Amino acid sequence: MVDEPLSNPTPLEKFFAKRLDFFAGYMRNERRFTRSIGPSRSIVISDLYKFIDAEMQQSAQ
């Protein structure tokens, strides 16, 4: 990934840069491409450790 401008871009590189800018702007502005955010999922770390410990004990048997 290039995160700085090229020092001497070719005409083809300029063309693709313009197309990418156009489509990136279109995708940002078009509502139908916006992802809906699902419910947040979280777990208490102590519960996670309990689950992992139980799984490890079960697999050791």
| Domain presence at residue 27 | yes
Structurally, the chain folds into a number of domains equal to 1
- Between the two ends of the chain, the Cα-to-Cα distance in Å is 48
Better-predicted residue by pLDDT, 4 or 12: 12
Residue 16 lies in a domain: yes
Per the structure, the complete domain to which residue 30 belongs is given by 9-35
* 5-60 per-position pLDDT tens digit: 668 888 998 898 899 889 888 887 877 766 676 677 788 888 889 999 999 999 88
In a domain, 57, yes or no: no
Confidence (pLDDT) at 30: 76
**Within a domain: residue 20?**
yes
pLDDT score at 28 = 79
Judge whether residue 1 has pLDDT over 60. no
- The residues near 17 (Cβ < 8 Å, ≥ 6 apart) are 9
25 assigned to some structural domain: yes
Identify whether 60 is part of a domain. Answer: no
